[in-house]
Chain A
Amino acid sequence: MTERKTIVSVKGLTKTYDNGHQALKGIDLDIQEGEILALLGPNGAGKTTLISTICGLVSPSDGSVSVAGFDIIKDFRKTRELIGLVPQELTLGAFDKVINTVSFSRGLYGKPADTALIDNLLDELSLGDKKHSMVQQLSGGMKRRVLIAKALSHEPRVLFLDEPTAGVDVELRKDMWAIVERLRQSGVTIILTTHYIEEAEEIADRVGIISGGELLELEEKQILMSKLGKKRLVIELKNPVDALPAELDEYGLTLSGDGTKLTYTFDARQERTGMTSLLSNIATAGLVVKDLNTQQSSLEDIFVDIVAAEA
């Protein structure tokens, strides 16, 4: 992963809105070509502001952004040609036909009309039969697909998806990830924001955590999970116990209802996990271990931890 080229480079980016609110406080971020980067963060963290700035919708207060080596302001034509954006809001002209609005997008990006390409794209997004429908007659999920079709109409190399699965049913979400996967296969770099941590966990290569306008963490998903992740050690006992023996007080164990399972939570980042002494103390207490099993905490746990620590 590390030998990959940087495609989007954000340096010291700050944004203070006209009302004085500082939405970005010095973001440094290198996005690698071909990766899927998930940006996680609570409401108002600055995710949309970050994406909008890179796409040219918000003027930066300070710092710089380059895409494929071109500055987003000086060389805006070159950078924007490479970028596709699916906005968070369902913004579509009500009186347009699907085919027209998608062709319009392609034209805006300076590409000559290409009916075959647009038809393909619409089919791929299961919009083939809606080609001549008016946008306002489509369901929310369908509109979301139209927005994706618009963003892909000019064959971008970098795709920004701002909460693509907000308000989308399970079926469509699965479709969406299939599309994302196909795009990744073709080498498109994808940056998405989401509130569904399982999603980031499932499809992202790297995860960035934004809160209060700052990038708190940026790591490959596995590293983030192992580095920051708490682990749980579940100890299954041969014979059930009524209460925890006094020898084990210091470990903060929890005992399952049937008295056969002890759960020990430890921080994988720590040098000493306390596991060895726990196990020997269990033996001292005269308990017989039947099975051991460790579990990694999910991104959700990590996320909650990091954001809580900052607050």
Chain B
Amino acid sequence: MNTEAVKAIYKNEMRRTRNTLLQSIAAPVISTALYFVVFGSAIGSRIESVEGVAYGAFIVPGLMMLSLLTQSISNASFGIFFPKFTGTIYEVMSAPVSFFEILLGYVGAAATKSFILGVLILITATFFVDLRIAHPFWMIGFFLLTCVTFSLFGFIIGLWADNFEKLQLIPSLIITPLVFLGGSFYSVDMLPAFWQKISLLNPVLYLISGFRWSFFEVSDVQVGISLSMILLFLLVCIAIVWAMFRTGYKLKP
């Protein structure tokens, strides 16, 4: 195991974040604050509570998930796409580094960034609403698992994409709609029966539901199912990455 290389990639990626601090951390925090102002305060003041939870607080887990998912994917996909695009990937590819170590460096850094971001959003949230976390360990568990899984997913997209359009395609066409329709801002119970059924096909629903449960003990689906879903998705991502690694996917002519 070439730990120095993993460290080097990790540190390099984290440095890139520091250089673009405004874009990678400040921007998502500001947009989350705006969500609180618009949804939490403006609209939330008209909605008493959802399942006994003040609306402003109710949307916190969903908002965190929204940022974690989109930012994990964009960080990780960009992290590997950029060196591919500029050609600097040659260096990693000709170094005594295994695919697994490359993965560890890039995905680890992307997941760390998401984690920091999530913590910042949580802190931001406490300025707007009263928060209590019923099951802190589960909360951290879902939190970490989401960061890692979606960073891995982003890494796959970054490897797969050979142009900027493809890089944006999945996040904007699939992930964003799924997150918005996954109950970030509402409980699925609020929907008509038909749409409730449809919503159950949305994997992100399970994620948000489980995460929200760890805060308020209210959920759309059972927490066990939520956990199984995210673990399943993690396994799928690992399987895809493993298959890519076997074939040297798109990295070597």
- Taken residue by residue from 92 to 113, chain B's Cβ proximity to chain A (1 for < 8 Å, 0 otherwise) reads as 1111111000000000000000
Residues of B within 8 A of A83 (CB): 94
A246 to B150, CA, bound (A): 88
Range, interface on chain B: 20 to 34
- Do B2 and A91 touch across chains, with their CB atoms under 8 A apart? no
Indicate if the CB atoms of A58 and B252 lie closer than 8 Å: yes
Which of A100-108, A193-201, A221-229 lies at the binding interface? A100-108
Contact among A58, A76, A95, A150 with B19 in the assembled complex (CB-CB below 8 Å): A95
Contacts of B92 in A (CB 8 A): 108
What 0/1 pattern do residues 60 to 85 of B give for CB contact below 8 A with A? 00000000000000000000001100
0/1 interface trace, chain B 8-33, chain A, CB 8 Å (1 if under): 11011001100110000000000000
By the criterion CB–CB under 8 Å, are B88 and A110 in contact? Answer: no
Nearest residue (CB) in A for B105 is A108
Q: Across the interface, which residues of A come within 8 angstroms of B83, CB to CB?
A: 93
A104-B94 in contact given A58-B252, A58-B253 (Cβ < 8 Å): no
Inter-chain CA distance A87–B248, complex, in Å, is: 20
Map CB proximity to B onto A92-121 as digits: 1 under 8 Å, 0 otherwise. 111100001001111111111000000000
Q: Which of B9, B20, B91, B98 contacts A150 (CB 8 A)?
A: B91
In whole angstroms, how far apart are the Cα atoms of A19 and B5 in the complex?
Answer: 33
In the complex, which residues of chain B have a beta carbon less than 8 angstroms from the beta carbon of A100? 12, 15
A107-B86 contact in complex given A55-B94, A80-B96, C-beta closer than 8 Å: no
Residues 59 to 109 of chain A near chain B (Cβ within 8 Å): 59, 76-78, 80-81, 83, 85, 87, 89, 91-95, 100, 103-109
A91 and B87 contact, CB distance less than 8 A: yes
Return chain A residues, CB-CB under 8 Å to B128.
none
A110 and B94 contact, Cβ closer than 8 Å, known pairs A58-B252, A95-B19 = no
Contacts A58-B252, A100-B12, A100-B15 given; indicate if A108 touches B5 (C-beta within 8 A): yes
A238-264 with Cβ < 8 A to chain B: none
Q: A17-B253, A109-B95 are in contact. Are A104 and B90 (CB under 8 A)?
A: no
Q: Is B165 interfacial (CB 8 A cutoff)?
A: no
Nearest neighbor of B102 in chain A, beta-carbon distance: A108
B130 at the interface (CB under 8 A from A): no
Contacts A80-B94, A112-B4 known; 20 new A-B pairs at CB < 8 A: A55-B94, A78-B96, A80-B95, A85-B94, A87-B90, A91-B86, A91-B88, A93-B83, A94-B86, A95-B16, A95-B20, A104-B12, A105-B95, A108-B5, A108-B95, A109-B95, A109-B96, A110-B5, A111-B4, A150-B91
Which residues of B line the A interface, CB within 8 A? Answer: 2-5, 7-9, 11-12, 15-16, 19-20, 82-83, 86-88, 90-98, 248, 252-253
Could you list which residues of chain A lie within 8 angstroms of chain B, going by C-beta atoms? 17-18, 55-59, 76-78, 80-81, 83, 85, 87, 89, 91-95, 100, 103-112, 150
What are the nearest 5 A-B pairs in CB distance? Answer: A107-B8, A91-B87, A108-B95, A77-B96, A80-B96
Provide 9 A-B residue pairs closer than 8 Å at the C-beta atoms, listed in order of the A residue: A80-B94, A85-B90, A93-B88, A94-B86, A105-B95, A108-B92, A109-B95, A109-B96, A110-B3
